[in-house]
Every structure is written in C-alpha cells, then in structure tokens.
Amino acid sequence: MTQIIPKPYWYLRHGETDWNVQGLAQGRTDIPLNETGIAQAVRAGQALAVLFQNNQRPFDHIISSPLSRATATAIHVRDEIDRLAGITLPLRIEEDLSEVCFGIHEGEAMSDWYRDWIEAGTSLENGESFKTLTQRAVAAVNQGLASEGTPLFVAHGALFRGLRAGMNLNVNERLANAVPIKVQPDCKNWILQTF
C-alpha cells in the first residue's frame, strides 16, 4: 500500500546539521545536530509544549528515526514538553523511518541527480529508489497510525517527500528543519499546517 491511512498525525524533520548547512546529501550517514539544530529542536519542543499547556493533546506518543539527528530532536521535544507541560510522552524508535539511502551520493552536494531521483525515478548506485523509499515510509507511518492515539513522527526531509507521495501531494517541496507540521485528512485531500 502506497497511500497513507486517512488519520491525523504530526511530523517534524530533525534540526540542522553541518551537512545541511553545506548542502550535502546525508541519507543514512549519521550526522549529528549542530548547535543551531539543538536550539531548533528545543524551540520546537517549547512551541509544542504550549499546546499541551493549553489543555490540548495534539499527539500522544513520539515515533522517531534511529539516526541520531532525529532521535536527538525527538528527545529534546519530549523533554521540553515534560519540563513545561508536565506530560511525559512515550518515545519509540522505528527503523523504517530512517532517511533514504543515497548510496554513492552521500556526502555529495545536492544537485541534478537529486531532482532526477525524485522526478524521473532515476536509480542511485548502491542506493534506494524513490519508489522504494515511498513504500517504506508509508508502511512505517501506517503502522504508527494503526495504533491508538495520534503520533508525532520525527524523521527526515527526503522521507517526508515519500510521505507526500503517499498523500498525493506535490513531492518536490523542501521541508524546513525542526518546524512542526500538523497533517490532517480532509475529504480526499490532506491539509498541512506548520507551527
């Protein structure tokens, strides 16, 4: 199944890394958050904590990619919600939320190969196709949506492009670092609201 179950969820791309600043393809290379990325993750947690402080329950649990830039972001968000709203949310790691494997292009500048990979379905040497990424990402999110409650997924930019494909949205849109997104189905469309 390459369509996302029509249930609401939240999504957060990890905070900034040094490779983000340099415009390099990270993929499965485990690049940590830089100082800006840590501050972004903390701010995202503070912004989401305000919702909990206002007696809202936007999400019930957090599901994160295992790559350190995502798990560190998820931990900062969880800790800020706990600190400011007094609510401790469960955090689970999901292997299938890992970023795409860019193969030989990891560590290279994002250029035409990246656009061709998305738009033309070009294969990446020793890497993962956009179709395979989409299938994996949608399956992981659907598994999270099948459980009770509303999840916050903390993962990656290219992975979210695969999710956009699973929501029949334009896939070639860049996702900002550490900006929470509320994702809601509406009839046959999806509404994405940034916070």
Point out the residues that are catalytic.
14, 99
Residue 116 vs residues 66, 123, 133, 168, 187: alpha-carbon distances, Å: 27, 9, 15, 19, 32
3-class SS letters over the chain: CCCCCCCCEEEEECCCEHHHHHCECCCCCCCCECHHHHHHHHHHHHHHHHHHHCCCCCCCEEEECCCHHHHHHHHHHHHHHHHHHCCCCCEEECHHHCCCCCHHHCCCECCHHHHHHHHCCCCCCCCCCHHHHHHHHHHHHHHHHHCCCCEEEEECHHHHHHHHHCCCCCCCCCCCCCCCEEEEEECCEEEEEEC
